[in-house]
Amino acid sequence: MTEIIRLAGVRKAYESAGPPALDDVDLTVRAGEAVAVMGPSGSGKSTLLNVIAGLDRPTAGEIEVAGVRVDKLSETGLAKFRRAHIGIIFQFFHLLDEMTVRDNILLPGRLAGVRTAAANKRADELLDRLGIRGKADAYPARLSGGQRQRVAIARALMNSPELLLADEPTGAVDQAAAQGVRDLLAELNDGGLTLLLVTHDPALAADAGHRLITMRDGRATEAVNA
Ligand SMILES: Nc1ncnc2c1ncn2[C@@H]1O[C@H](COP(=O)(O)OP(=O)(O)OP(=O)(O)O)[C@@H](O)[C@H]1O
Ligand SMILES: [Mg+2]
C-alpha cells in the first residue's frame, strides 16, 4: 500500500519557552488505513491534525501528504493542495450560518472551480447519502447537532478527498447521532477513504480505527495489535 501521510521528526512549539505541542513525532499512514488518535486534553491531537492539513506549520521535521511536502508549500499552494486531497471535519463544524446547507456543501467545489452542474450533482449525491436532502435549503442554525455534523461531513467529502481528517467527529452530538457518524465513517473507510480521527470516544476508536495512536505531552505512541 502506498503511504498517504508521513511525518518524520515533527516538532511544533507555539512558544519558545515551555514544552512543545508536538515533540519529535514520527508517523506513517498508508492509503486505506483508519487511524484513531486519543490522548488527554492538551496532548497535541488537534495540533497533529493541523500540521498534517497545513493549517499550522511545524517548527521542525518533515510532513508529506499524498507524496507532497506540505511543510514546504506556500499558503496558496497549501490551500489548493487541501482542496484537492484533504477533507477536514472540525470539532465544532465551522459551518457558515448565513449560507444554506446546500451552499455550505457546495463551497469547497466552488473554491476548487468545479463546474456548477457537476458540483450540484455531487452535492445532491451527498445530501441523499447523508440523509439531509430535506434540509438542503435550511440554514445551519435551524438544524440539530447531528444534522449539522452530517452537513460538515458532506462538505468535507465534496471534492472526493483521498484523506479525511476529523477532530472529535462525535464530540458534539448525542448518542444516537454518534452511532450514525461511526457507521458512516466505517463505511467510507470500507470504500477506500483513509481516515485520521482524533477522538475521546472509545466506541469510535474501536469501530473506525484499525490503528490506535496515543498522544501524551506532544509525543505519539502506537499500541501494538490495537
Ligand atoms: N494556537 C496556539 N497557540 C499557542 N498554543 C497553542 C495553540 N494551539 C494549541 N496550543 C497548545 O498546544 C498544546 C496542544 O494543544 P492541542 O490543541 O493540540 O491539544 P489537544 O490534544 O487537541 O487537546 P483537546 O483534547 O483539549 O482538544 C496545548 O498546550 C495548547 O495550549
Ligand atoms: Mg483538540
pLDDT in tens, 30-51: 999 999 999 999 999 999 999 9
Q: Using most ligand atoms within 8 A of CB, pick from 11, 12, 14, 50 the residue to mutate for ligand 1.
A: 14
Which atom belonging to ligand 1 lies closest to the Cα atom of 19?
Answer: 29
Residue 8 confidence (pLDDT) above 50 = yes
Residue 217 confidence (pLDDT) above 60 = yes
Per the CB < 8 A criterion, the answer to whether 3 and 64 are in contact is: yes
The model's confidence at residue 1, banded by pLDDT at 50, 70 and 90, is low
User: pLDDT digits over 192-201, tens only?
Assistant: 999 999 999 8
- Specify the residue with its C-alpha closest to ligand 1, atom 29: 42
Report which residue type is found at 160. Answer: S
Query: Is there an atom of ligand 1 within 6 Å of 42 CB?
Result: yes
Residue 107 confidence (pLDDT) above 50 = yes
Q: Using most ligand atoms within 8 A of CB, pick from 46, 90, 199 the residue to mutate for ligand 1.
A: 46
Q: Which ligand has the shortest distance to the CA of 217?
A: 1
pLDDT > 90: what percent of the chain?
Answer: 75
List for the chain the helix, strand, coil content (%; round to 5): 40, 25, 35
Query: Is there an atom of ligand 1 within 6 Å of 46 CB?
Result: yes
Residue in 77, 101, 85 with CA at minimum distance from that of residue 154: 101
State the distance from the centre of ligand 1 to the C-alpha of 47, rounded, in angstroms.
Answer: 6
The model's confidence at residue 226, banded by pLDDT at 50, 70 and 90, is very low
Given CA atoms 81, 157, 182, 179 in this order, what sign does their dihedral have?
positive
- Specify the residue with its C-alpha closest to ligand 1, atom 25: 41
Q: How far apart are CA 191 and CA 180, in angstroms?
A: 17
Per the CB < 8 A criterion, the answer to whether 158 and 123 are in contact is: yes
Query: Is there an atom of ligand 1 within 6 Å of 37 CB?
Result: no
Average pLDDT, the chain: 92
Determine how many CB atoms are found less than 10 A away from the CB of residue 116: 10
Query: Is there an atom of ligand 1 within 6 Å of 67 CB?
Result: no
Give this prediction's pTM.
0.92
- Alpha-helical runs (H) found in 3-161: 45-53, 75-85, 101-111, 116-129, 145-157
Query: Is there an atom of ligand 1 within 6 Å of 9 CB?
Result: no
Residues with CB under 5 A from ligand 2 (ion): 46
Per the CB < 8 A criterion, the answer to whether 170 and 204 are in contact is: yes
Query: Is there an atom of ligand 1 within 6 Å of 92 CB?
Result: no
Residue 25 confidence (pLDDT) above 60 = yes
User: pLDDT digits over 124-159, tens only?
Assistant: 999 998 889 999 999 999 998 888 989 999 999 999
User: pLDDT digits over 53-92, tens only?
Assistant: 999 999 999 999 999 999 999 999 999 999 999 999 987 7
Residue 225 confidence (pLDDT) above 60 = no
